[in-house]
């Protein structure tokens, strides 16, 4: 390069506006590069909004705050280094997990090496592009050319930044954006919708909202202690089923969106699920285990079943509280000598499952792909049908040391339930159910019934059947509205909304070799699952912090937050509408006589929120260890 050309470049770089222009242009290149790496480039028009916002913020900061060339260059170095760190972490995390990190994870990049490789394995030679501008800022800092933007220009920049601030506030408060941020099933889905800059802005909103909630002391941080003591007492309470499955393996088949009504409903004499309905007779059958999920149905269902806590009031529990310390059912089973394994034929980043299974204490988590490559006829929706999923899971169980505890997630059956081909629809639906969501759901339930018939018939001929407790349940009720479910609620005695709430339950079937089947009419909740498993296995857990009780000793009310209802015996309570009904007669009851049940629900939800917000499990377990009444090792 000629000396004159070098002089021209040096002169250009000494221009007062050189640093902001270089910084913004370099930031554009970095964002485009990482967006390409994460497949979020130009995802929607909002991608350009995010690019413009970042550009204006950077330009404004450098021009308004940089009082000299050196100050500008050093500020640009700090800003660019921060952006580079975030973008590189996005790219590296995506290469491992096919997902994007939250801000709380940016300080935990070291977790990348925990999944079987080193940090070097996520590096690409092309990542050096993220560093090319940094040495330039050091050189410009040495030049230290004085600079002050003209006042009129500073005023224009300040005005533009004010408008941007109002736009950002509107964006994070907009109900549509708030809904995406709170009920996200995968970080990547949000980034695909909004682009990387706005994705991180929404994540920052979530973190700031949580920090604001935690700015004061919790009202009663140990309010969960009475529930924990009551739960422990129900686990160890002697009874017919205490230790009935002692030393046996446990297999939990978690069926997407399986609602209780599907096992009980008939269409013109056609049972929707004839096999599973008959199978209940050989099991300890609870037809009314109420769905206690909230915003994130599938992830919340797994959370409640594992932890016996209620999910977050706002936001997605699996993302907001992934770094909490939990003492969930798998952890207690590990202490009892079980090998615990979670199996799901799907991407482990979905609903942050890989991280949450580790947080729950599973010693092993198996995600797709495993087993033989799936055939086209085995695939349904975005995963596999139930039978091929369960046959592959059996291959994993066959390799495990016994006793083991395994949860296997069957993922077919997602809203709007239009996953079947025409030849797979067996039910003859009346005209009013054809081409409706509830009609599609019932067809899918019949298909699932056939899949379970095929697997369970085969399972009971295999070696594990006589030493294994088999549990089948839904992860949550179907996400159909009262109006969508109304065609199959026509015989309900309650008003439509209350009838819909009454049906927000999933079936629970527990088959124990050598134990006679029995149908339990007691309404129970998903929080009762973990204490019930420990009760059946005859284990004495070490200071569990549970809200549920063993289903064989349950006494309290059932609180299901998403529907804002509570149930105790024959009473169904709408907490928001302040109405009470008799389940048997449908008659409206005086709400004031049952207001205590609503208060109890609000207190329990608040106590559970405190546990999540303040990460109180360790504190509560320590309190349970203190002298005095309460659980402990006998």
Long-range contacts of 9-12 (CB under 8 A, 24+ apart): none
358 and 501 fall within a common domain:
yes
258 and 184 fall within a common domain:
no
163 and 242 fall within a common domain:
no
DSSP code, position 420: -
580 and 459 fall within a common domain:
yes
Task: Give me the pLDDT at residue 139, please.
Answer: 73
- Give a yes or no: residue 220 inside a domain: no
Final residue before a domain boundary, out of 181, 213, 245: 213
195 and 231 fall within a common domain:
no
SS3 (DSSP) at 349: coil
183 and 271 fall within a common domain:
no
pLDDT in tens, 497-528: 888 888 899 999 999 999 999 999 999 999 99
Q: How far is 356 from 255, CA to CA, in rounded Å? A: 19
- Give a yes or no: residue 630 inside a domain: no
- Give a yes or no: residue 631 inside a domain: no
More confidently predicted of 28 and 168: 28
Q: Considering only 24-28, 107-111, 621-625, which range has the smallest mean pLDDT?
A: 107-111
The answer to whether 290 and 561 are in contact (CB under 8 A) is: no
Average pLDDT over residues 529-535: 97
- Give a yes or no: residue 219 inside a domain: no
Say which CATH number the domain at 258 has: 3.40.720.10
Task: Tell me how far the alpha carbon of residue 602 is from its chain's centroid.
Answer: 22
Final residue before a domain boundary, out of 192, 213, 234: 213
- Give a yes or no: residue 538 inside a domain: yes
| Domain total in the chain | 2
432 and 333 fall within a common domain:
yes
What's the chain's average pLDDT?
Answer: 82
Helices (H) and strands (E) in the chain, counts: 24, 18
190 and 337 fall within a common domain:
no
Phi-psi region of 308 (alpha: psi -120 to 50; beta: other; left: phi over 0): left
- Give a yes or no: residue 103 inside a domain: yes
Residue 402 has pLDDT above 70, yes or no: yes
250 and 347 fall within a common domain:
yes
Final residue before a domain boundary, out of 149, 178, 213: 213
Residue 151 pLDDT level (bands cut at 50, 70, 90): low
For helices 69-97 and 134-143, angle between their N-to-C axes, nearest 10 degrees: 170
More confidently predicted of 226 and 75: 226
- Give a yes or no: residue 632 inside a domain: no
- Residue range of the domain that includes 399: 225-625
Tell me, yes or no, if the pTM score tops 0.75: no
Q: Considering only 22-26, 164-168, 261-265, 400-404, which range has the smallest mean pLDDT?
A: 164-168
Average pLDDT over residues 543-558: 92
More confidently predicted of 52 and 589: 589
Burial class (CB in 10 A: 0-12, 13-18, 19+), 504: buried
pLDDT in tens, 209-236: 667 766 655 554 677 888 889 999 999 9
Residue 570 has pLDDT above 70, yes or no: yes
More confidently predicted of 318 and 536: 536
Residue 154 has pLDDT above 60, yes or no: no
- Give a yes or no: residue 130 inside a domain: yes
347 and 202 fall within a common domain:
no
109 and 247 fall within a common domain:
no
CB contact set of 164 (below 8 Å; sequence gap of 6+): 53, 56, 57
Q: How far is 471 from 285, CA to CA, in rounded Å? A: 10
380 and 453 fall within a common domain:
yes
Residue linked to tokens 């959370």: 303
Phi-psi region of 543 (alpha: psi -120 to 50; beta: other; left: phi over 0): left
């Amino acid at each position: 390069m000629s000396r004159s050309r070098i002089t021209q470049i040096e002169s250009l770089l000494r221009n007062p506006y050189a640093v902001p222009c270089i910084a913004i242009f370099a930031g554009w290149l970095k964002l485009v590069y990482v967006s390409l790496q994460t497949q979020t480039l130009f995802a929607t028009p909002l991608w350009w909004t995010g690019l413009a916002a970042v550009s204006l913020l950077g330009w404004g900061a450098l021009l308004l705050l940089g009082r000299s060339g050196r100050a500008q260059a050093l500020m640009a170095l700090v800003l660019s280094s921060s952006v580079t760190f975030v973008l590189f972490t996005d790219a590296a995390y995506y290469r491992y997990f096919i997902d994007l990190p939250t801000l709380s994870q940016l300080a935990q990049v070291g977790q990348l090496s925990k999944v079987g490789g080193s940090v070097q394995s996520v590096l690409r030679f092309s990542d050096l592009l993220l560093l090319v501008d940094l040495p330039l800022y050091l050189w410009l800092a040495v030049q230290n050319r004085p600079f002050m933007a003209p006042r009129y220009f500073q005023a224009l920049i300040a005005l533009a930044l004010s408008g941007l601030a109002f736009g950002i506030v509107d964006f994070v408060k907009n109900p549509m954006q708030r809904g995406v941020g709170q009920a996200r099933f995968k970080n990547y889905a949000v980034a695909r919708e909004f682009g990387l800059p706005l994705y991180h802005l929404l994540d920052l909103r979530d973190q700031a909202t949580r920090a604001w909630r935690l700015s004061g002391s919790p009202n009663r941080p140990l309010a969960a202690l009475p529930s924990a003591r009551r739960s422990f007492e129900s686990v160890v309470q002697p009874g017919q089923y205490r230790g009935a499955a002692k030393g046996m393996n446990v297999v939990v088949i978690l069926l997407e969106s399986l609602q209780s009504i599907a096992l009980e409903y008939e269409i013109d004499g056609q049972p929707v699920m004839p096999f599973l309905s008959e199978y209940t007779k050989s099991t300890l059958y609870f037809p009314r285990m109420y769905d206690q999920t909230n915003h994130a149905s599938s992830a919340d269902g797994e959370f409640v079943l594992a932890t016996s806590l209620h999910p977050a009031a706002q936001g997605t529990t699996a993302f907001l509280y992934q770094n909490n310390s939990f003492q969930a059912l798998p952890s207690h089973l590990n202490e009892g000598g079980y090998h615990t394994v979670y199996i799901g034929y799907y991407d482990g980043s979905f609903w942050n499952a890989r991280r949450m299974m580790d947080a729950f204490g599973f010693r092993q988590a198996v995600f797709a792909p495993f087993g033989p490559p799936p055939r086209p006829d085995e695939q349904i929706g975005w995963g596999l049908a139930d039978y091929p999923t369960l046959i592959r899971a059996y291959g994993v169980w066959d390799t495990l040391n016994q006793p083991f505890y395994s949860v296997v997630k069957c993922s077919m059956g997602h809203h709007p339930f239009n996953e079947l081909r025409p030849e797979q629809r067996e039910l003859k639906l009346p005209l009013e159910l054809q081409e409706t969501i509830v009609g599609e759901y019932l067809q899918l339930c019949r298909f699932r019934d056939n899949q379970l018939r095929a697997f369970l018939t085969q399972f009971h001929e295999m070696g594990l059947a006589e030493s294994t407790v088999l549990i089948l349940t839904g992860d949550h009720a179907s996400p159909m509205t009262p109006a969508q479910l109304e065609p199959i609620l026509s015989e309900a005695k309650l008003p439509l909304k209350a009838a819909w709430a009454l049906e927000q339950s999933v079936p629970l079937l527990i088959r124990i070799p050598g134990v006679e089947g029995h149908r339990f009419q007691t309404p129970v909740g998903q929080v009762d699952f973990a204490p019930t498993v420990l009760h059946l296995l005859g284990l004495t857990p070490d200071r569990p912090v549970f809200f549920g009780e063993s289903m064989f000793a349950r006494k309290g009310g059932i609180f299901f937050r998403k529907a804002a209802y509570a149930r105790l015996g024959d009473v169904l309570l709408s907490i928001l509408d302040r109405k009470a009904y008799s389940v048997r007669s449908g008659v409206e009851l005086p709400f004031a006589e049952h207001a205590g049940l609503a208060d109890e629900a609000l207190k329990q939800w608040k106590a559970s929120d405190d546990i999540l917000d303040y990460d109180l499990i360790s504190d509560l377990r320590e309190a349970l260890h203190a002298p005095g009444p309460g659980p402990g090792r006998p």
